[in-house]
Every structure is written in structure tokens, then in C-alpha cells.
Amino acid sequence: MAVRAHSNSPQQLLNEINAAIRAGKVLTWQLDSEGDFTHSPEQWRNQAWFRPTIEPGMLVFKILGRKDVRMSTEVYAVYHGRFIEMLLAHFDHRFSTVSSTAQPVVGEYVGL
């Protein structure tokens, strides 16, 4: 599954998210060395990651799971819900809509 943020400037949105995390303005998400996002509270850290991609008119965050553990519904839900919450709380002026589906979509789940 993926989180899709529809934006006229998806690259600018990604740049601002990255900058806000690095500056400590967004405390609940971390960037790894590959530019993927993981939820930073201890309970959720490194349970999954979002990998950003730029598509026409949108910024897409595809979820990546751990190699050694099947992703639970709870981890899936927490990551999608809290990532959308972060986007709405900090970047609502940079996109028109944000969406997610309830189930994985072929091509939008990346197993590590």
C-alpha cells in the first residue's frame, strides 16, 4: 500500500518533509540513510518504512516491511494513519488530498 499526497509541487513537499525532520520540527518520524521514513517512537521504530517516489501530480510513499517478520495489520495501520496525521499537521498547505487504502495494492508494497 501507499500513501498518496496530491500536490502541484511533490518534490518541494518531499524536500520540506525531509528538512522538518532533520531540523527536529517533526519528532515522530526519522529518515534513514536511503531516504526512507520510519516511525520513531520505540514501539514502532524500524517495524516498517515508507519510501518516497515522485509521480505526476503526487508524492507517493510506498511501505516497506522487514525481511524477517510479516507485517501485522496493526503496524500497517499505525504507519499509514500516523504518517497521514503528520502530513496534515505539518504540511496541509502543500497538498490538496492525501489517501490510503485498507489493503495492500500490487506494486505498492515493497518487501525488504
Class of domain 2-111: alpha beta
Inter-residue contact 83 to 29 (CB < 8 Å) = yes
Inter-residue contact 112 to 65 (CB < 8 Å) = yes
pLDDT in tens, 45-84: 999 999 999 999 999 999 998 888 888 889 999 999 999 9
Sketch the domain layout of the chain as residue ranges: 2-111
| pLDDT given at position 112 | 41
Residue 107 pLDDT > 70: no
Give dist(CA 55, CA 75) in Å, integer. Answer: 25
Give dist(CA 28, CA 39) in Å, integer. Answer: 6
Residue 39 pLDDT > 80: yes
